[in-house]
Amino acid sequence: MSFLVSPPEVISSLLSAGTGSAPMLAASAAWDGVATELGSAAQSFSALTSGLAGEAWQGVGSEAMLAAAARYAGALSVAATQAETAAAQAQTVAGAFESALAATVHPALVAANRNQLAQLVVSNLLGQNAPTIAAVEAEYEQMWAQNVTAMVGYYGGASAATAQLTAWSEVQDLLAQVSSAIAGGPVGAALSSVDSAISSSPVGGLLSNAAETVNNDVGQVEEAVIDVVNETSETLIGRPLISTGSSGSTGSAATTNATSAVTTTSTSATVPLTVNGSEAIVYASVGNGSSQPLLVDTGSTGLVVPYQDIGGILGLFSYGLPTGFGIGGYSGGLDYLYVTLNMPINFGGGLVTNSTPVDVELFAWPTSLQALETNGFSFQNYFAHDGVTGVLGVGANASGPSTSSPTQSFSNSYYNEGLLINESAGTLTFGPAPTTLTSIATVTGAPITTLEVSVNGGALQSVSAIIDSGGVDGTLPSSLLGSAGTGSTIAVYTTSGQELYSYALDSTYYPTVTSGGSMNTGYLPFSEYAVYIDYAADTMTFYE
């Protein structure tokens, strides 16, 4: 396994953001407990059978039973020894991890270096920053080398510890051989007479508990090993190397967006839409990546995903040279550096776009102390509470971060005409405007338009607005509120006087009050209506 291709921000973040050595230390303590229980079980089993043979049971049957019991006790002793070895090796792996963590560069230092580079590049109009840029890049290369060295040492130590572990199948085979020998011999019938005695004795419960503990802790260690392997593979190829039964299929949207749920006709295509809290979510795979949850956002244009979602670092090199790069950001305190690559989007069921521009996030950094404490230096952490990994911007005139939406990149031109977001039906439909729903109102501009607002039944006030499905509770300029506060009724209308929706300012729905700027509707209109975006006309139509 090579860590040469993993940039320092990836390695440092993975080591610092995880659970650390605690799971391995816990596993070590658990294995110690298993070893103790197995050793006690072996001693108790031997003592019980010896007591029976020395008192009430004599003769050939007794001798055969003692021989069989000795083999069982031996198998338990071997298992106890293996458990002790597993405990020791878990301690070794934990120590190797702590050494690697201490040897890697702290994520904050890496992020500061990349942030400094981005600022220098942006301001390097006349080449005056060239020497400083070279120094920053040299420092970054040193960080890269330091992290690679630490990871190579970590991998070597962990691999050596793992190599010393003996497969538990050997103990299982030994127990199976003993059981077969007993069942096939004359002592089998004799031992059945003591079965009830063993079951009712304390050792019976001890053996049962020991077996359960072994199964549980074997599972814990297996899970820890799988996590170590998969963290690295997700960085390199964007997906787990070892399947755990919950990962999506590579290059398809088969996990949640099941093929059977995707329907296509000659003029339209429909995929499942889920709602997490206030967020509309669709599943799709990007490039070589696996199926991922994406936020359906009318407040932006274009698709933004982290590089892990397109197949990891290797996926970055699968679609040719970037067509652009830049720095983007989201309200709430996150900026990110991205490259633009052309690749297809797969919604499942054979519904795949042509190659279309995708902004691929390379690394992110917080823009405030609060954002640092909440999300760290992670694009994924910023969107984790929304239940998504990326943003599918579907707005017609949102003007960024891209110039076009992947929802207009299908080979079937009908699919590119518009998009119907129907949260109540749980569907996202690509194609012409619906003919089976009742239209309530149409506004010009999607999502940027003009609306009118009435506070507590007062006069209508015009306001520039963004009809934003990804805007959570939205925003409300203070100039509209005046002296009104909590408990006030806010009604929103089209410029033709058609009421779209209303709400009371309370703990259930309370937009962020801003000193100026546009009003953001947030998710509320999408929770009450099906909304159709007509890309050619640049309009939004609301349907019951």
CA distances from 64 to 189, 191, 278 (A): 11, 9, 70
- Pairwise CA distance, residues 419 & 532, whole Å: 6
| The token pair that represents 331 in the structure block | 């309200």
- Pairwise CA distance, residues 317 & 304, whole Å: 17
Buried b (16+ CB within 10 A) or exposed e, 317-356: eebeeeeeeeebebeebbbbbbbbbbbbbbbbbebbbeeb
| The token pair that represents 380 in the structure block | 């994924």
- Pairwise CA distance, residues 292 & 286, whole Å: 8
- Pairwise CA distance, residues 465 & 481, whole Å: 15
- Please tell me whether residue 389 adopts helix, strand or coil conformation: coil
DSSP conformation letters of 33-79: HHHHHHHHHHHHHHHHHHHHHHHT--SHHHHHHHHHHHHHHHHHHHH
- Longest Cα–Cα distance of the chain, Å, equals 106
Nearest 10 degrees: CA dihedral of 29, 35, 37, 42?
Answer: 180
Would residue 297 show up in a list of annotated catalytic residues for this protein? Answer: yes
Which residues neighbour 526 within 8 Å (Cβ) at sequence distance 6 or greater?
280, 298, 421, 423, 469
Q: Where are the beta strands (DSSP E) in 376-447?
A: 390-394, 418-422, 427-430, 439-444
Partners of 364 in beta bridges: 336
| The token pair that represents 118 in the structure block | 């981005």
- Pairwise CA distance, residues 228 & 441, whole Å: 53
- Pairwise CA distance, residues 537 & 123, whole Å: 39
Q: Are 531 and 541 in contact (CB under 8 A)?
A: yes
For residue 232, count other CB atoms closer than 10 A to its CB: 22
- Pairwise CA distance, residues 114 & 195, whole Å: 69
Residue 157's nearest CA partner among 96, 244, 70 is 96
| The token pair that represents 278 in the structure block | 């206030």
- Pairwise CA distance, residues 360 & 13, whole Å: 18
- Pairwise CA distance, residues 143 & 137, whole Å: 10
- Please tell me whether residue 286 adopts helix, strand or coil conformation: strand
Catalytic residue among 32, 227, 297, 386: 297
- Pairwise CA distance, residues 393 & 415, whole Å: 16
Query: What values do phi and psi take at 175, rounded to 5?
Result: -65, -40
CA distances from 531 to 296, 439, 506, 519 (A): 12, 10, 25, 18
Active-site residue set: 297
